[in-house]
Amino acid sequence: MNVTKAVFSAILALSAGVASAAPTVVTVDALANCLDLGTASAPALVKVYLPDGNYKASVVRSTNVPNPGYPDYINSNVGLFQAGNVLGGIAIGKSLKFKVAGGFDGDIHAFISDGICADNSGSTVIRFTPY
């Protein structure tokens, strides 16, 4: 298990026991994400479990080139989806609101949206804050 995946596993273990008012912060590593996206299981798609509630996801910082082209993620640094549905893309300093309503809806997937790994270095930090 590489360091990035170990960190995500720790975050996932902690997020279930964190009080609902506490934000969850996740770092998506571009190199690991881009290297693994070509596999059938796409193991590098970061998966974060969030308890039921309303959330605001925001990009705290990113060293990745914003994606110029995917329709749902234009000019964003990270793309989010939930239970197979696109939530949208987020750029630095921007946010995206969404709802988690139980079951698999709490499994939020994030990926670096940098133009199909055109720049596979750096990382993006995302904060999920309940509201």
Taking only the tens place, the pLDDT of each residue in 60-100 is: 888 776 666 556 666 777 778 787 677 888 888 889 898 88
Out of 3.90.700, 2.60.120, 1.10.287, 2.70.98, which CATH number does the structure's domain 3-130 have?
A: 2.60.120
Residue 5 reports pLDDT greater than 80: no
**pTM metric for this prediction:** 0.67
Residue 35 reports pLDDT greater than 70: no
Angle, alpha carbons 18-14-57 (nearest 5°): 70
H helices present in 16-97, as ranges: 30-36
Residue 39 reports pLDDT greater than 50: no
- Give the whole-angstrom CA distance, residue 15 versus residue 2: 20
CB 78, CB 110: distance < 8 Å? yes
Domain boundaries, given as residue ranges, for the chain: 3-130
